[in-house]
Amino acid sequence: MKIAVCVKQVPDTGPARKLDPVTNRLDRSGEGALNATDVNAVEEALRIKEAHGGEVVVVSFGPTRALDSLRKALAMGADRAVLISDEAAAGSDLVATSYALAKGLERESADLVLFGQQASDSDGAVLWAAVAERLRRPLVSQVAGLEIDGASVTGKRQTEFGYDVISAPLPAVVAVSDAINEPRYPSLKGIMGAKSKPTETLSLADIGAEADRVGASGSRTTVLELAPPPAKGDQIKIEDDGSAAEQLVEWLAGRKLL
Partner 1 sequence: MSTLVFLEHHGGAIQKGSLGVLARALAVGGDVAGVVVGHGVAEVAASAGAFGVATVYTVDGPDFEAPLPQPRVDALEAVAAASGAENILFAASVLSADIAAGLAARLDAGLNWDVTDIAIDGGKLTARRPALGDTVLVTVGWTSTPRIALVRSGSFEPVETGGTAAVHDVAVTPREFSTAARMVDQAHEEASGPSIEDADVIVAGGRGLGTPEGFRLAEELAAALGGAVAATRAVVDAGWYPYSTQVGQTGKSVSPKLYIALGISGAIQHKVGMQSSGTIVAINKDANAPIFDFADFGVVGDLNAVAPKLADLVRARKG
The amino acid sitting at 131 is V
227 binds, among partner 1, ligand FAD, none (CB under 5 to 8 A by kind): partner 1
Helix/strand/coil (H, E, C) string of 82-144?
Answer: EEECCHHHCCCCHHHHHHHHHHHHHHHCCCEEEECCCCCCCCCCCHHHHHHHHHCCCEEEEEE
Specify whether the backbone of 66 is left (phi greater than 0), alpha (psi in -120 to 50) or beta: alpha
Q: State yes or no: residue 40 binds ligand FAD (CB under 6 A).
A: no
Distance CA 90, CA 86 (A): 8
Q: State yes or no: residue 61 binds ligand FAD (CB under 6 A).
A: yes
Find the binder of ligand FAD among 4, 101, 132, 174 (CB under 6 A): 101
Q: Is 78 exposed, middle or buried (0-12, 13-18, 19+ CB in 10 A)?
A: buried
Cross-strand bridge partners of residue 112: 3, 172
Q: State yes or no: residue 69 binds ligand FAD (CB under 6 A).
A: no
> Shortest Cβ distance from residue 189 to ligand FAD (Å)?
26
Q: Cβ of 189: how many Cβ atoms within 10 Å? A: 9
Largest distance between two CA atoms of the chain? 65
Q: State yes or no: residue 124 binds ligand FAD (CB under 6 A).
A: yes
Q: State yes or no: residue 118 binds ligand FAD (CB under 6 A).
A: yes
Q: State yes or no: residue 46 binds ligand FAD (CB under 6 A).
A: no
- Positions 189 through 228 that interact with ligand FAD (CB under 6 A): 221
Cross-strand bridge partners of residue 9: 34
Q: State yes or no: residue 117 binds ligand FAD (CB under 6 A).
A: yes
How do beta strands 2-6 and 55-61 pair?
parallel
> Shortest Cβ distance from residue 119 to ligand FAD (Å)?
4
> Shortest Cβ distance from residue 52 to ligand FAD (Å)?
21
Find the binder of ligand FAD among 33, 37, 99, 134 (CB under 6 A): 37
157 binds, among ligand FAD, partner 1, none (CB under 5 to 8 A by kind): partner 1
Q: State yes or no: residue 11 binds ligand FAD (CB under 6 A).
A: no
Give the DSSP H or E segment for 81: strand 80-84
Which is closer to partner 1, CB of 64 or CB of 185? 185
Which stretches of the chain bind ligand FAD, using CB under 6 A? 6-8, 26, 35, 37-38, 41, 60-62, 92-94, 97, 101, 115-119, 121-122, 124-127, 178, 221
